[in-house]
Amino acid sequence: MAAETSSKFDFAVVGAGVFGAWTAHFLRAAGARVALLDAYGPANSRASSGGESRIIRKGYGPDEIYTEWAIRALPLWKELFAQLARPELFRETGVLWIAPENDAYALATARALAKFGVESEKLDGGELRRRFPHFSFDDDAWGILEPRSGVLMARRAVQALVERCQYAGVECLPEAVIPLPPGSLPAQFATASGRRISAGTYIFACGAWLGKLFPELLGDRIFPSRQEVFFFGPPPGNSVFQSPATPTWLYLKDEFYGMPDIEGRGFKLADDRHGPSADPDSQSRAASPESLARAREFLSRRFPALRDAPLVESRVCQYENTSSGDFLIDRHPSHENVWLVGGGSGHGFKHGPALGEYVARLVTQGVEPEKRFGLASKGEVQRRAIH
């Protein structure tokens, strides 16, 4: 058995996904001694941050706080990639919203983009068909195009960020935190290897594992759901399903989203509706025939040229949903020096830099979090309101 060791830090951040990594980054930039722990490593294949690609868009319907955060986040992502000489980690594909007539969410999105000065275009049905003849639109369809939004290469972006954190002095530890005793949190916590971590403040940013580490508090308030993603092979020699001919897209009526063929991986699409409950440690990562059939049905209707396209790749990950889809950012109700950060709810990745900056400010300056992020606002019944 390995000898027990003990380490003392100003902050210990548990979870090296996008939320935890950016939080550690900003804490270290403020001069703090920081540990960043993850049982499987940064942006691993079981984590919600572990996929190849994630959308970054600024439209959020009436939820303008997320529009503001996305506006803040994109230049921070691009600044990081420039510093790392990795500009390919952001792809400016544009993001196309496709909505039915009088869709309240799309109309609110258009208003918010105009309010905050986000470059965008409103496209009527005729313009949609002229620009994107390989899409199939309903008769009443209209669109909003965000030309400066696009795709983050998620796994590589987080891993590059963690490497930068290490270079800056963050101690990154491949350690699994032992589930905490019900009702209390010790002054130190133990890892599976026998190491004891002591910090002035603990930040648990471990996504779908929050409910497993805090079962009494969060077991009924974090809802991990199984989400299946498919990549279909475009016809040989055909570049129409690549950017710029194909932007990243969201069909609001169908609740499917996707993106162009990037790096030859295939044309990506996924159902945004919540799948069944999932365990991030043990769920099968093989896509189900039922989900593939739904994806093919959608593909046949909306992208007819891909009706018989071969499936070239599939992935299974998870969302870690709160009851509403709002993030969870709050103190533990029994421990002033313990913070709970999570609930990305399928839309959180893009916000990583803005969220990390926000959390670092909360824990270093004693600022109170937004009420909508508070634990008290998180119910035990899902009523998804944020997309």
**166 and 140, same domain (yes or no):** no
With respect to residue 114, please indicate whether it lies within any of the assigned structural domains: yes
Last residue of a domain, one of 282, 297, 320: 320
Q: State pTM to two decimals.
A: 0.96
Here the CATH number for the domain that contains residue 11 is 3.50.50.60
**244 and 340, same domain (yes or no):** no
**234 and 267, same domain (yes or no):** yes
With respect to residue 82, please indicate whether it lies within any of the assigned structural domains: no
- As a whole number of angstroms, the distance between CA 27 and CA 348 comes to 20
Last residue of a domain, one of 293, 320, 347: 320
| 8 A C-beta contact, residue 370 and residue 34 | no
Last residue of a domain, one of 320, 335, 366: 320
**316 and 342, same domain (yes or no):** no
**241 and 351, same domain (yes or no):** no
**232 and 309, same domain (yes or no):** yes
- As a whole number of angstroms, the distance between CA 227 and CA 316 comes to 6
- As a whole number of angstroms, the distance between CA 165 and CA 22 comes to 9
**184 and 133, same domain (yes or no):** no
With respect to residue 182, please indicate whether it lies within any of the assigned structural domains: yes
With respect to residue 73, please indicate whether it lies within any of the assigned structural domains: no
Report pLDDT for 1: 36
What kind and span of H or E run contains 113?
Answer: helix 104-115
Report pLDDT for 2: 41
| 8 A C-beta contact, residue 342 and residue 210 | yes
Nearest Cα neighbor of 128 from 267, 251, 27, 282 is 251
Nearest Cα neighbor of 356 from 371, 341, 370 is 341
**183 and 276, same domain (yes or no):** no
**233 and 257, same domain (yes or no):** yes
With respect to residue 80, please indicate whether it lies within any of the assigned structural domains: no
* Residue 238 vs residues 94, 96, 230, 252, 261: alpha-carbon distances, Å: 20, 21, 19, 27, 11
With respect to residue 62, please indicate whether it lies within any of the assigned structural domains: no
Here the CATH number for the domain that contains residue 283 is 3.30.9.10
**237 and 274, same domain (yes or no):** yes
- As a whole number of angstroms, the distance between CA 277 and CA 227 comes to 10
**163 and 304, same domain (yes or no):** no
Token readout for 217 is 């508090």
**142 and 175, same domain (yes or no):** no
- As a whole number of angstroms, the distance between CA 222 and CA 324 comes to 10
Token readout for 276 is 């069944």
Report pLDDT for 367: 85
Report pLDDT for 246: 98
**Structural domain of 278:** 91-150+223-320
With respect to residue 113, please indicate whether it lies within any of the assigned structural domains: yes
pLDDT in tens, 323-353: 999 999 999 998 889 999 999 999 999 999 9
In DSSP terms, 249 is beta-bridged to 96, 258
With respect to residue 81, please indicate whether it lies within any of the assigned structural domains: no
Count of structural domains, the chain: 2
Tens of pLDDT, residue by residue, the chain (387 residues): 344 455 689 999 999 999 999 999 999 999 999 999 999 999 999 999 999 999 999 999 999 999 999 999 999 999 999 999 999 999 999 999 999 999 999 999 999 999 999 999 999 999 999 999 999 999 999 999 999 999 999 999 999 999 999 999 999 999 999 876 666 666 778 888 988 899 999 999 999 999 999 999 999 999 999 999 999 999 999 999 999 999 999 999 999 999 999 999 999 999 999 999 999 999 999 999 999 999 999 999 999 999 999 999 999 999 999 999 999 999 999 888 999 999 999 999 999 999 999 999 999 998 889 999 999 999 999 999 998
Token readout for 82 is 């420039």
